[in-house]
A and B are shown apart, each in its own frame.
Chain A
Amino acid sequence: MSIEVTQPFERVVAQHGHTVLRVCRALLGTHDADDAWSETFIAAMRAYPDLPHDANVEAWLVTIAHRKAIDVLRATQRRPVPVDELPEAPDARPKDDLELWAAVRTLPDKQRQAVAYHYVAGLPYAEIARILGGTADAARRAAADGIKNLRRTYPGAITEEAPS
């Protein structure tokens, strides 16, 4: 990994804000994703001057988002899910984005996290293993199982054709 100068934090937000938002949505759904995003970036900005110059910034941000999402989940699991967040009949409009998020959220924790970090954030499994604990192979299996489950619950959500 190459040595580079520490970038202005504004550029970190511009480069990675979108990916972190999608990761938070995959982990939590839209309702809580904004709060997790905010907590991730304020924590990141606080620690940013101490980040090593050669760090993988995206993996670092996803690691923070992972912890913040767990905090949010622990808090929300004690209160009922808002009604407007519930998925409709699974096969009604299978390509609907909100339903896909809902489907991702029904996956077991490890599968959901592995899918989000690999398929949404684009992290390699070795990096994901560092976040989740365990081995790269275990992370790879969790992501594969997650995709298999998504194919079964939302057959229209993952096809060879990208949704418009």
Chain B
Amino acid sequence: MNDDTHHGRTTDAAVLGSALSTPTDADTLTRLHDRLVRQAEAQEILDVAYTTVDTPVGPLLLATTPKGLVRVAYASEDHDAVLDHLAEKVSPRILRAPHRLDRVARELEEYFAGQRHAFDLDLDLSLSHGFRRLVQSRLPEIGYGQTRSYREVAELVGNPRAVRAVGTACATNPLPVVVPCHRVLRADGGLGGYVGGADAKSTLLHLEAA
């Protein structure tokens, strides 16, 4: 962007540029960003608000629409890529606005402290469709500390032969932890796959078994 040679600018550019900048700019920009968030909320054009929280399974990205929590993402999913995907699939009008996720963050904190066994949150399932969405909407019926096999979940949704599709639905769950795909295991007791990796899955299962 700032290519001096191509636009024939001289030292004046650098001198003017740095002279017109001040050390308070970082503070000013933080304040202006906060003001932008407030204005965007008031004018109802903040389509997606997000933040990140530190948890025992690493930093989680939390994103919400006015309808409810739309995405929980592990660091291994690449938070920048997840935001790009939200921009494409939901709306590019995305801002970091942690206060919009205060309740989600508090419930997650309680969950990881072992004090919360069910989430009481509005969810926006618009990132998944069809059979995947059906499976994901039924997963919260598997209670805290319980597990089901992929086959049992297939039976639960009335399609007992769709075991593989249930696996795909779990692997593409846009709301891991909150929608408990970690409670679905292989019929032989094996851990099965997990969007956050096997370590995260066993961490959650151990937490709930305690």
Encoded as 1 (CB less than 8 Å from any A CB) or 0, chain B from 10 to 37 comes to 0111111111111001001101110110
**Contact assessment for A45 and B45 in the assembled complex, using a CB-CB cutoff below 8 Å:** yes
**Contact assessment for A9 and B93 in the assembled complex, using a CB-CB cutoff below 8 Å:** yes
Look across to chain A and name the residue whose beta carbon is closest to the beta carbon of B33: A13
Given contacts A10-B50, A18-B29, 8 further A-B contacts (CB under 8 A): A18-B25, A21-B25, A25-B20, A38-B35, A125-B7, A159-B15, A162-B19, A163-B18
B141 interface residue, CB < 8 Å from A? no
Residues of B within 8 Å of A45, CB to CB, are 36, 40, 45, 93
**Contact assessment for B87 and A46 in the assembled complex, using a CB-CB cutoff below 8 Å:** no
Partner of B28, one of A21, A58, A115: A21
Return the 10 tightest CB-CB contacts between A and B, nearest first. A8-B94, A6-B92, A119-B16, A122-B2, A8-B83, A8-B87, A42-B39, A22-B20, A119-B13, A100-B19
Residues of A within 8 Å of B35, CB to CB, are 38
Residues of B within 8 Å of A86, CB to CB, are none
Number of A residues near B (Cβ < 8 Å) is 44
Residues of A within 8 Å of B33, CB to CB, are 13, 17
Q: A42-B36, A104-B20 are in contact. Are A163 and B15 (CB under 8 A)?
A: yes
Q: Interface SS of chain B: helix, strand, loop or mixed?
A: helix
Interface size class of B (residues with CB under 8 A): 35 or more
A65 interface residue, CB < 8 Å from B? no
B102 interface residue, CB < 8 Å from A? no
Partner of B94, one of A9, A100, A161: A9
Partner of B19, one of A10, A17, A97: A97
Q: Which of A96-150 contact B (CB under 8 A)?
A: 97, 100-101, 104, 115, 118-120, 122, 124-125, 147
Q: List 12 A-B contacts (CB under 8 A).
A: A7-B87, A21-B32, A22-B21, A25-B20, A34-B31, A49-B91, A49-B92, A58-B1, A97-B21, A100-B20, A122-B1, A124-B6
- Please, how many angstroms separate the alpha-carbon atoms of A122 and B6 in the complex? 11
Encoded as 1 (CB less than 8 Å from any A CB) or 0, chain B from 48 to 79 comes to 10100000000000000000000000000000
**Contact assessment for B12 and A158 in the assembled complex, using a CB-CB cutoff below 8 Å:** yes
A26 interface residue, CB < 8 Å from B? yes
Partner of A162, one of B2, B15, B86: B15
B199 interface residue, CB < 8 Å from A? no
Encoded as 1 (CB less than 8 Å from any B CB) or 0, chain A from 47 to 84 comes to 01100000000100000000000000000000000000
Question: Which of B33, B40, B50, B92 lies at the interface centre, i.e. has the most chain A CB atoms within 10 A of its CB?
Answer: B92
CB of A17, distance to nearest CB on chain B (Å): 5
Partner of A122, one of B7, B84, B96: B7
Look across to chain A and name the residue whose beta carbon is closest to the beta carbon of B18: A162
- Please, how many angstroms separate the alpha-carbon atoms of A161 and B15 in the complex? 7
Residues of A within 8 Å of B9, CB to CB, are 118-119, 122
Partner of A115, one of B1, B14, B16, B39: B16
Residues of A within 8 Å of B7, CB to CB, are 118, 122, 124-125
Partner of A160, one of B1, B11, B83, B93: B11
- Please, how many angstroms separate the alpha-carbon atoms of A22 and B87 in the complex? 28
Partner of A34, one of B12, B28, B91, B95: B28
A28 interface residue, CB < 8 Å from B? no
- Please, how many angstroms separate the alpha-carbon atoms of A6 and B83 in the complex? 11
